[in-house]
Amino acid sequence: MTAEEGVQLSQQNAKDFFRVLNLNKKCDTSKHKVLVVSVCPQSLPYFAAKFNLSVTDASRRLCGFLKSLGVHYVFDTTIAADFSIL
């Protein structure tokens, strides 16, 4: 993890995430804050193994769960990981 990633991680936490989700439920949709979640490629095999699913099914279910909470966009960062290797 780079220093920049550490700073970004420290600025994001579950408390803020759920605070924004709750605010979005209470206000007019034109005033919603857009919530974006990125899923790293390493997390999907963990969820797949934990719930006895294929990686594809785990990805779909995780995305569906996050969207059911009120997340607007869910991005898979696999391509970003591939670019970093190049």
* Per-residue confidence (pLDDT) for residue 5, from 0 to 100: 59
This prediction's pTM: 0.72
Mean pLDDT by groups of 10 residues along the chain of 86 residues: 60 78 82 84 89 93 92 86 77
Q: Are residues 35 and 71 in contact, defined by beta-carbon separation less than 8 angstroms?
A: yes
* Per-residue confidence (pLDDT) for residue 73, from 0 to 100: 92
* Per-residue confidence (pLDDT) for residue 65, from 0 to 100: 92
* Per-residue confidence (pLDDT) for residue 76, from 0 to 100: 86
User: Which residues, 6 or more positions from 26, have their beta carbon under 8 angstroms from its beta carbon?
Assistant: none
